[in-house]
Structure 1
């Protein structure tokens, strides 16, 4: 990447619908001091707007996009990040199948524009490929550098993972930490959560945060990634 980059700290986190230790959850995110948080299993039902705002406030952040319109996918940002435009998508639904969606936000940080995106694919392997294709369609159409976090519910050898990852950088691989498992916290043995970025973005650091607090906060570990966005100009 030519010229100085703009730092961006990203957390991608399946918060298990806040069914675990919510105080620990807030402590985990606040300690990371992220610029953006990509949430899976965020509020999506009764009073979801209020609940999304409360969750964001507990993290010291504000809501950018998501919630019910994105079926629980939620994008949160710090005051350092300006949100320029947002949209939410729901994947094509078949009666009796799982509801899934995605959230997208065009953002500006330190003069660098980027597309922030998040999704959570089905636990059903028959449903995931079509969902991955729908999520990827939006990412592939983006002209801005992409920062995408997702719970893919399968590992890197799966077809849905390969669909989403195509043409993007797997931040774990870039940091030589693809051996770090993200799920389940009680017995971590799978890497089903990921952050993918545009090849124009540099991966500075990557971590799967395994600590006593993260083991209380959710059934997934959070991913923490430090990036350098391409500077404008």
Structure 2
């Protein structure tokens, strides 16, 4: 038997939409971990991150300004053993991008939680994907990586990040579910990739009136079974 874990990966659009709806969406999902893109990254980012986590009923594990808005949140069920943040090389005139990582334990299972948000510029994304993949490959426990890749499964950055990992949507036969935009769903640019040793039990892109008010991206909700390591 594996250890169950519920994961949400969510670009929250810098909390520029209906924040009450955002909190309600995440609380209703009852996740063990949330991988946030476009989280707090500027003035008073620690306080803002803590407030966001509290609104979700979670705590901050890693990220924020050091990871350039990528934020990892966990329930008290999850023990965080170590964290690290990564910044990708800056292309002059472009936005900084990065990633966050947390080494975690839940029950008898250890795993590495990771999140990133790649550039909207197709010329920048491949090198950022390579940097993110380097961080994933350095993990010493099975990886769960959530990301807004800003391109679909046919893109080169997607191919780089997904190499050797399982695309949860494909594993659940739900790859037709689109994640962006809430106003006009037309692309699957948000993904959760997991180590092949992790079982994908269920996958959903949560499309409700509430999620359409909460952000410009739909949240990705995935139920997993982690392999016991003890």
> Shorter-chain-normalised TM-score: which range?
over 0.9
Distance 1:130 1:94 in 2: 10
Matches within 5 A, 1:75-224: 75-224=72-221
How far off is 1:81 after superposition? 0.2
Query: CA shift at 1:110, angstroms?
Result: 1.1
Cα RMSD for the two superposed structures: 0.5
Q: Distance in 2 between matches of 1:34 and 1:89?
A: 25
- Name the counterpart of 1:42: 39
> For 1:101 and 1:113, how far apart are their aligned partners in 2?
23
2:53 to 44, 56, 75: 56
- Identify the residue that residue 31 of structure 1 maps to in structure 2: 28
1:20 is matched with 17
The whole-number CA distance in structure 1 between the counterparts of 2:74 and 2:210 is 22
Which residue is equivalent to 2:68? 71
SS in 2 for 1:55: helix
- Secondary structure at the counterpart of residue 143 of structure 1: coil
CA–CA separation in structure 1 for the residues paired with 2:13 and 2:91: 24
- Report the alpha carbon displacement of residue 68 of structure 1 after superposing the two structures with TM: 0.3
Partner-residue secondary structure (3-state), 1:225: strand
Deviation at 1:94, TM superposition (A): 2.2
Q: TM-score, normalised by structure 1?
A: 0.98
What CA distance in whole angstroms lies between the structure 2 residues aligned with 1:25 and 1:94?
A: 32
Post-superposition CA distance 1:182-212 (Å, at most 9, x none): 0000110100000000000000000000000
Number of aligned residues: 230
Counterpart CA distance in 2 for 1:45 and 1:168 is 32
CA distance in 2, matches of 1:112, 1:55: 27
**C-alpha displacement of 1:98:** 1.8
Report runs of 4+ in structure 1 exceeding 4 Å deviation. Answer: none
Residue-by-residue CA offset, 1:95-150 (whole Å, 9 max, x unaligned) = 21221000000000012100000000000000000000000001112220000000
Could you tell me how far apart the structure 2 residues matched to 1:59 and 1:143 are? Answer: 29
Alignment partners' CA distance in 1, 2:109 and 2:135: 20
Which secondary structure state, in structure 2, belongs to the residue aligned with residue 43 of structure 1? coil
Q: Which runs of 5+ in 2 are unaligned?
A: none
Is 1:6 paired with 2:6? no
